[in-house]
């Protein structure tokens, strides 16, 4: 069974967008994963298919209505659907490579994309939505955040990446940032490729890469060295 993604959004035409190209696009065409984007507005109210209203208690902006979003979720996702239901949200659990790995190992995801000020709290509770953040900044909508979650998951699905190893040696997989890469030409603008990489001595190459990995992590992300995985 392939990884299946259902997106609930006010802008279904944004999908597959960039996910229809390159690695994820090829995998989509080959049926390694599937994507369905549903329009929340199909469940909007009245002649104008209204989906939002003013916040209770006052304040700026609009809030996605719980009745509209609840109906959209219920229509798209059967009660016994085993997939986790995510809500893209700046106050959610931070997206990490460990979390991505867990999602990619499962049957797929349902992703709700917020807009405006966000969504009515009651639908988050009632439908058991897991709030997920892609970082400490605020986007105007959850669609691009959802694409990031899917891009990160899809590249880990079996048969998507050329070499199995390229998924496990990368940044974050062992709480280290990746070592530097080089390719031809051997010298460029007076800058040579480090000798050790051309030595053919695989033990030395591995040691150099491990040391570079640790140096770069210490310099740029010392927090990764302190915390455990995730
Ligand atoms: N008022 C909200 C921000 C709303 S932004 C707050 O202060 O928390 C509108 C929508 O964009 C959100 O509902 C969410 O779906 C999406 N979004 C914005 N920033 C995000 C982030 N860092 N990660 C994931 N989704 C985000």
**137-168 pLDDT per residue, tens:** 999 999 999 999 999 999 999 999 976 556 66
Nearest CA to ligand 1 atom 20: 90
For 57, which DSSP code?
T
CATH 3.30.43.10 given to domain 169-226: no
CB of 59 closer than 6 A to ligand 1? no
The rounded distance, in Å, linking the Cα atoms of 93 and 96 is 9
CB of 101 closer than 6 A to ligand 1? no
CB of 131 closer than 6 A to ligand 1? no
**Is residue 228 scored above 60 in pLDDT?**
no
Residue limits of CATH 1.10.1270.20 in the chain:
169-226
Q: How far is the CA of 158 from the centre of ligand 1 (A)?
A: 31
Residue limits of CATH 3.40.1280.10 in the chain:
3-154
- The pLDDT tens digits of the residues spanning 215-226 come to 999 999 999 998
Nearest CA to ligand 1 atom 3: 117
- pTM of model > 0.85: yes
- The pLDDT tens digits of the residues spanning 74-110 come to 999 999 999 999 999 999 999 999 999 999 999 999 9
- The pLDDT tens digits of the residues spanning 190-207 come to 999 999 999 999 999 999
Going by C-beta distance under 8 Å and a sequence separation of 6 or more, which residues neighbour residue 134? 88, 95, 145, 148, 149
138 marked ligand binding residue:
yes
CB of 55 closer than 6 A to ligand 1? no
Instruction: Please state which of the four CATH numbers 3.20.20.80, 3.10.180.10, 3.40.1280.10, 3.40.50.150 is assigned to the domain occupying 3-154.
Output: 3.40.1280.10
Shortest-distance atom of ligand 1 to CA 91: 8
The rounded distance, in Å, linking the Cα atoms of 16 and 228 is 34
């Amino acid at each position: 069974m392939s990884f299946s993604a259902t997106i609930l959004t006010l802008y279904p035409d944004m999908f597959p967008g960039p996910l229809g190209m390159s690695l994820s696009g090829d995998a989509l065409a080959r049926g390694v994963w599937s994507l369905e984007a549903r329009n929340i507005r199909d469940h909007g109210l009245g002649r104008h298919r209204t989906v939002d209203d003013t916040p209770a208690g006052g304040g700026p902006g609009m809030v996605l209505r719980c009745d509209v979003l609840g109906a959209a979720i219920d229509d798209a996702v059967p009660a016994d659907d085993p997939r986790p239901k995510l809500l893209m949200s700046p106050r959610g659990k931070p997206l990490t490579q460990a979390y991505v790995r867990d999602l990619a190992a499962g049957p797929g995801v349902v992703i709700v994309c917020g807009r405006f000020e966000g969504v009515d709290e009651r639908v988050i509770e009632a439908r058991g939505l897991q709030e997920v953040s892609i970082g400490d900044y605020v986007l105007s909508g959850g669609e691009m955040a959802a694409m990031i979650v899917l891009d990160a998951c899809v590249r880990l699905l079996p048969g998507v990446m050329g070499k199995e190893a390229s998924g496990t040696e990368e940044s974050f997989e062992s709480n280290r940032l990746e070592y530097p890469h080089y390719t031809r030409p051997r010298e460029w603008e007076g800058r040579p490729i480090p000798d050790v990489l051309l030595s053919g001595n695989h033990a030395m190459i591995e040691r150099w890469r491990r040391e570079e990995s640790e140096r770069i992590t210490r310099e740029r992300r010392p927090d990764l060295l302190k915390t455990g995985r995730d």
